[in-house]
Amino acid sequence: MKIKNNPQRVSFKAGLTPTIKAQAARYSAANIEHLFQKQGVNADFKNNRAIAYCCGIVNDIFETLTAKYKLPFGAKPPSLTVYHDWELINYNDTGCIGFCLPDSAKIISGKGVYETRSVFYNNEKMKTLTEMDALAEAQYNSGFNSTNHFLHTIIHEWVHNIHNDLLYRVFGYDGTCSKTLQRYNTFNGSYYDPNPYVSGVEHFRRMQLSRYTPEQREIIKKEISVYAAGRSVHSGYIQGGNPFELIAEAITKGVVDVLDPDTLTVTQNPFYQAGKHDQKLTDLVNNAWYNIAGG
């Protein structure tokens, strides 16, 4: 897609610079929708130029990671949708600012069928880059996010899409979405799967139900984020604290850490930094990638 920023050293907070804001103003939502459509992605940004621009940048970031560093991040969401009426979503967290559809073919009542791995962003909470910047800063300061970068939510949901794609390519898909069934084999056995009769859909379900131990949660909370670790609420947990959310938060942090602050381009392989993290955390992230060890 190649949405690039001109280098210009400026001070910044949460990753948003005047240079980036000026660059983003050059793009219309319709223009970026057209670029995505050329790549086979159905994008409907509802004229939200900020989210459209961020999706274009994040697309370029993951294309670079795939092409230059040979990382398995080439999967694109089948559709990108911006909307503001969260009551239309068949999902219980109406305060959510982003959502990646894991499986169900029925997500928005009366608005058609969206394919598995489609990504949604909340137009009401992210109308401008400045709002995205402030939201990321607030969530990071509260310990909720692994980074304070304004691209955090865009990247986080993109990673969910990539992770879903990986699970369904490796372990097969036997879910309910007819379009997704056309993309993947119904079942794939795998030599490193401890249970070769478990499909990608079942792996995903187990990830969502899995919970880390108190010791593991402390490690994740310290090095990644509260959201990745999960927080006790009476007898339950807030969403997070499972392998699926750990992957999204850990990869988001890894990617943001190697972005040039002025151009938003990747400067090095984010996952070739020996000794950067506690080995126990590294093991948790590696296990979560394929859900080999669960929580």
For the beta carbon of residue 139, count every other beta carbon within 10 angstroms. Answer: 21
Which pLDDT does position 292 carry in this prediction?
54
Asked if the structure places residue 295 within a domain, the reply is no
Structure tokens at 91: 């999902």
Residue position matching structure tokens 């709002």:
131
User: Which residues span the domain enclosing 207?
Assistant: 18-290
Asked if the structure places residue 201 within a domain, the reply is yes
Backbone angles phi, psi at 288, to 5 degrees: -65, -30
Exposure letters 242-278 (e unless 16+ CB within 10 A, then b): bbbbbbbbbbbbbbbebbebbbbebeeebbeeeeebe
Among residues 238, 51, 71, 68, which one has the least CA distance to residue 157?
A: 51
Asked if the structure places residue 2 within a domain, the reply is no
Spatial distance between the Cα atoms of 63 and 67, rounded to a whole number of angstroms: 6
Asked if the structure places residue 3 within a domain, the reply is no
- 3-state SS assignment for residue 226: helix
Which pLDDT does position 73 carry in this prediction?
93
Asked if the structure places residue 4 within a domain, the reply is no
**Residue 239 backbone class (left: φ over 0; alpha: ψ -120 to 50; beta: rest):** beta
For the beta carbon of residue 204, count every other beta carbon within 10 angstroms. Answer: 23
Asked if the structure places residue 48 within a domain, the reply is yes
Which pLDDT does position 5 carry in this prediction?
55
Which pLDDT does position 62 carry in this prediction?
97
Provide the domain count of the chain: 1
The answer to whether the beta carbons of residues 33 and 45 sit under 8 Å apart is: yes
The answer to whether the beta carbons of residues 81 and 58 sit under 8 Å apart is: no
- CA distances for 60 relative to 40, 43, 83, 130, angstroms: 15, 16, 23, 21
Please return the burial class of 209, using the count of CB atoms within 10 Å of its CB with bins 0-12, 13-18 and 19+.
exposed
Which pLDDT does position 8 carry in this prediction?
39
Asked if the structure places residue 7 within a domain, the reply is no
Asked if the structure places residue 216 within a domain, the reply is yes
Low-confidence ranges of the chain (pLDDT < 70): 4-14, 85-95, 104-113, 187-197, 231-240, 272-277, 291-295
The answer to whether the beta carbons of residues 227 and 244 sit under 8 Å apart is: no
